[in-house]
Amino acid sequence: MAGPEIRADIVDVYVFRRVGPVAVEFLQMRRAQGALTGTWHPVMGHCDGDETAAQTAVRELAEETSYSTARGLMGLWQIESLNSYFLASHNTIVLSPCFAAQVRPDVEPTLDASHDDYRWVKRDHVDRTFLWPGQRQAISQIMRDIVPTDSPVAAMLRIDLDGATPA
């Protein structure tokens, strides 16, 4: 095979909560194992079988944080950009669909074994705490298109959670 492999089976889910009338915080979890041990990330995961990207987002969100429609998940939106990056160690270009998940501010995550800590990051600290440019870009898009209550596109980007729940 010439050139790098292209993969699109990983999703990113940016969990946010409203804290007050205008303040927004984003969830980061610290990796407990693997190549990126000790680094902070949003929810990330691989598609299983023939899952859709939205189904993967809902499943990974529940697995990594325990957020679900029964436990704090208020809404899910697609973000109209892909997080794209190159992994030289795997000679792979990754194209990762991104999602935004709003959770209730009074429900804290319960982490899975792949994470050992979490923190809520205020919007004005995102540029210093999110490691990758694509992550910061996704958060800017969430703040522009999803968070405002008068957003003209938020309703079009919202995902029906019943249809996104894996069968």
Could you give the CA distance from residue 83 to residue 76 in angstroms, rounded to a whole number?
Answer: 17
Distances (CA, A) of 120 to 23, 63, 80, 103, 162: 12, 18, 24, 12, 27
Could you give the CA distance from residue 48 to residue 51 in angstroms, rounded to a whole number?
Answer: 6
Q: Please tell me the least confidently modeled range out of 12-16, 38-42, 64-68, 161-165.
A: 161-165
pLDDT digits (tens, 9 = 90+) for 11-61: 999 999 999 878 999 999 999 988 788 999 999 999 999 999 999 999 999
pLDDT digits (tens, 9 = 90+) for 82-97: 888 888 988 999 999 9
Question: pTM to 2 decimals?
Answer: 0.93
Could you give the CA distance from residue 12 to residue 147 in angstroms, rounded to a whole number?
Answer: 18
Helix (H) or strand (E) holding 129: helix 126-129
The fold adopted by the segment(s) 5-162 is Nucleoside Triphosphate Pyrophosphohydrolase (3.90.79)
